[in-house]
Amino acid sequence: MHRRYAAVLTAVMLLMAASCGKKETALERGLSFVTLQEYDQALEILLEAEVSEGVSEELLRAKGLAYMGLGEYDQAVSAFTDALSLAGTSCGSLERDINFYLSTCYIKLSDNESAMERLDAVLSSEPSNVTAALERGKLKLSMKDVSGAMADFDMAAGTDKKNAGVYLDIYDIFMSRKMVKEGASYLNSAKAADPADLNDYDKARLCYYTGDLEGACNYLEYARSIDKADTDMIKLLGRCYRELSKYENATAIYLGFLEEKPDPGICNELGISYSETGSYSQALEAFRRGIKIPENNTCMQELKANEIVCLENLHEYKEAAELAKAYLETYGTDEEMEKEYAFLVTRCGVY
């Protein structure tokens, strides 16, 4: 999900702010650990809170978030569903929030129909929810419903006309699926927008997509000088430097960010950067560093695929073949990995 629409725990912060000046409850402490991404500790506290403070919609939501962070999506679905059952017929901001997280869990579990139902529920309650419209459009694209996706994207863009960055969000989605032609009209809309309707990150994205890499770097460097950089900003800045063949800059950017925050996505970008310069031992170390971060790891499959290719480049064929076999057992049909595994088998005889 794009940085502007990443699931932010606003309700957590509001709850914590409201608690200032009074004794913190177990629920509030649990939510604090969720915010810190210390999910095991959060669950321990929240399970105790069920006994000491009783079950509530807010507590079950918090449990769901902790399970999501640990990648235990079945457990998260159970917690979120129980939370909604306590809401009854209510459909306010808390219920929309829970439905949104539920849709994410269902997507992770490859249950697209259930995910669609949850996003439908959000939009039924709040038709102007740009985030839900974008996510439903993205889901429809994955289900080959291009016209339905474009209807949702147009709805999102029309809802927030002063936020031209939405056009770039939509173009990002099409680009990630190599559907440049379908996304072209949204990129053109971003180009035609009033610059005042674009923040520095969006201006950088526009520069990047129109080939102005230096301009993109300038906007991103300025943006991170005045505000705390997030993962998406660092990813784009690193890619710009790599495409400008400024690999030392890219590496410094990635490593500097990782000193502050263990982020699997940035580990993946660091590994790719090392691979592009033939530094496969360092690339392998970076990919494995990312694999060791289970929390919120949305790129685990890509990290493991890159690890295998890296081992091949290091001529570690037996280990690569064993990992490729395990990869296919875990993730199922993958044409590229099946070819990779077949090649590796011919090199080392692992079956």
Same domain, 71 and 104: yes
Whichever domain contains 152, its CATH number is 1.25.40
**Final residue of a domain: which of 148, 163, 197?**
197
Whichever domain contains 30, its CATH number is 1.25.40.10
Query: Is residue 309 situated within a structural domain?
Result: no
Same domain, 266 and 224: yes
Same domain, 109 and 25: yes
Q: Give tens-digit pLDDT for 53-111.
A: 889 999 999 999 999 988 889 999 999 999 999 987 768 889 999 999 999 999 988 89
- C-alpha to C-alpha distance for 140 and 131, rounded to whole angstroms: 14
Query: Is residue 270 situated within a structural domain?
Result: yes
Predicted local confidence at residue 81, as pLDDT: 96
**Final residue of a domain: which of 82, 101, 122?**
122
Same domain, 110 and 142: no
Same domain, 49 and 94: yes
Same domain, 55 and 103: yes
Same domain, 168 and 259: no
Contacts of 22 (CB under 8 A, 6+ apart): none
The CA-based angle 256-259-262, given to 5 degrees, is: 115
Q: How far is CA 36 from CA 13, 30, 258, 269, 295, in A?
A: 12, 10, 16, 23, 11
What is the span of the domain harbouring residue 70? 1-122
The CA-based angle 49-53-57, given to 5 degrees, is: 85
Same domain, 3 and 69: yes
Percentage of the chain beyond pLDDT 90 is 70
User: What domain count does the chain have?
Assistant: 4
Query: Is residue 306 situated within a structural domain?
Result: no
The CA-based angle 164-99-26, given to 5 degrees, is: 110
- C-alpha to C-alpha distance for 267 and 272, rounded to whole angstroms: 9
Q: In terms of Cα–Cα distance, which of 56, 140, 127, 137 is closest to 98?
A: 56
- C-alpha to C-alpha distance for 182 and 63, rounded to whole angstroms: 39
CA 349, distance to chain mean position in Å, is 37
Q: Give tens-digit pLDDT for 273-287.
A: 999 999 999 999 999
Predicted local confidence at residue 351, as pLDDT: 56
Contacts of 250 (CB under 8 A, 6+ apart): 237, 238, 239, 241, 242, 273
Same domain, 192 and 203: no
Same domain, 183 and 264: no
Query: Is residue 304 situated within a structural domain?
Result: no
Query: Is residue 240 situated within a structural domain?
Result: yes
Query: Is residue 308 situated within a structural domain?
Result: no
Predicted local confidence at residue 35, as pLDDT: 82
- C-alpha to C-alpha distance for 71 and 298, rounded to whole angstroms: 9
Q: How far is CA 163 from CA 55, 116, 172, 241, 351, in A?
A: 39, 25, 15, 27, 54
Residue 18: pLDDT band by 50, 70, 90 thresholds?
A: very low
Query: Is residue 42 situated within a structural domain?
Result: yes
Predicted local confidence at residue 70, as pLDDT: 84
Same domain, 131 and 114: no
Q: Angle at which helices 231-243 and 213-226 pack, to 10 degrees?
A: 150
Q: Give tens-digit pLDDT for 217-275.
A: 999 999 998 887 899 999 999 999 999 999 999 999 999 999 998 899 999 999 999 99
Same domain, 110 and 47: yes
